[in-house]
A and B are shown apart, each in its own frame.
Chain A
Amino acid sequence: MAGSQNIGEASDNPVAINVTAMVDVIFCLCLFFMCSLKFKQLEGKIETWLPKDRGVLQTPPPKIVLEEIRVFMRWLDGQTVIKVGNRPPVKSDTELMQIILQMSNDFKKLGKSDFPVLIDALPDVPWRDVIHVLDLCKVEKLERIEFAAPLEIPVKAGGQ
């Protein structure tokens, strides 16, 4: 008897759709996307704008500018050796920043405020170590940080 049936019963719909195949496909797709899902690391940026009024030197600099804090970095025996100016290599970040801040204060006492911290790293130094020094300087509010560029002297025609 038709009146005894409930609404939404399977017998209401004479054309039943077999959803099993679709569910299988969706499961496979879900599995694929879940496997390929990769969480991104949080990315940010450090602004290191180049000076507008200076390009890469094509000739050796005319004179050695001493009004700078030059941080030398080189890769030796699997680790980065850092030294400031002609001082001996530093042993820790604290020591490095102590020297830089001391030099910075000395410059300020002499009335010089526009001095850069120049990171002079050799090409094989890991990028993370260079960024680490840059980061330490930025933490100490030293904003004028520059990277030393390799000198590119053009080869003369016919000569070496």
Chain B
Amino acid sequence: MPKQIEINAEVSPNLIPMIDIMFLLLLFLMISADMGQRELEDVVLPKAIVVKEDKIEAVSKDSAGERLTINVYHVTQLGGKTVLSCPVYERHDVCREESHWRIGIKGTDYVDMGLLRARLEKEAAPFRGKDPSNKNISERKVMIRADASAPFGLPQKAMNVCAQVGMYKIDVGAALVIKDEKRK
């Protein structure tokens, strides 16, 4: 009769490779998470064909300085909390409720155009005087990121204030049209 061998060893899974992978996954997700200051508000940008790629150098501190971003957005969420429910906006329709729209710079909202002007004056001041023909001109770049369904009046006001303080290098934020959409 053949002798049966008894194996009493415990079978336990080796967790080390799994932990390694989990750590890498965690690292990736943590790095890609949006932890920055609310420089860019949550907006649905209008789509355009002739959009230039927004290179990172535009945001770097080159001769024109750090670019200032003016957001025109619909208030639905603040700090991750839903503060306003707007069925019209949620349906991607055009919301014309004035109180639902904001002009914001780095997390600060400006309803009063006087305050916005004061802020832009402050932002434009260090970049003035480079043009000898007009000392009021500021070389600081401005990006206007307005929601696609925002009323034109708001970006128009922002542009107006920029013109008043001598900021003329204005870019408009737009989303790139994907090739399939272009064909349609």
The count of chain B contact residues (Cβ–Cβ below 8 Å) is 60
The A contact surface, by secondary structure, is mixed
Whether B22 contacts A48 by the Cβ 8 Å rule is no
- Tell me which of B103-111, B118-126, B147-155 binds A: B147-155
Q: Determine the chain A residues whose CB is within 8 A of the CB of B51 once the complex forms.
A: 44-46
The count of chain A contact residues (Cβ–Cβ below 8 Å) is 51
Q: Determine the chain B residues whose CB is within 8 A of the CB of A132 once the complex forms.
A: 46, 48
- Tell me which of A25-33, A63-71, A97-105 binds B: A25-33
Which of A47, A49, A123, A138 lies in contact with B156, CB distance below 8 A? A123
Q: Determine the chain B residues whose CB is within 8 A of the CB of A152 once the complex forms.
A: 160
Q: Determine the chain A residues whose CB is within 8 A of the CB of B171 once the complex forms.
A: 45-48
A1 in the interface (beta carbon within 8 A)? no
Whether A149 contacts B96 by the Cβ 8 Å rule is no
State the A residues within 8 Å of B (CB).
10, 19, 22-23, 26-27, 29-30, 33-34, 36-38, 41-53, 55-56, 73, 75, 78, 121-132, 134-135, 138-139, 147, 149-150, 152
Question: What would be 10 A-B contacts, judged by CB atoms less than 8 Å apart?
Answer: A19-B15, A33-B26, A33-B33, A41-B44, A45-B52, A50-B162, A73-B152, A127-B154, A127-B155, A131-B174
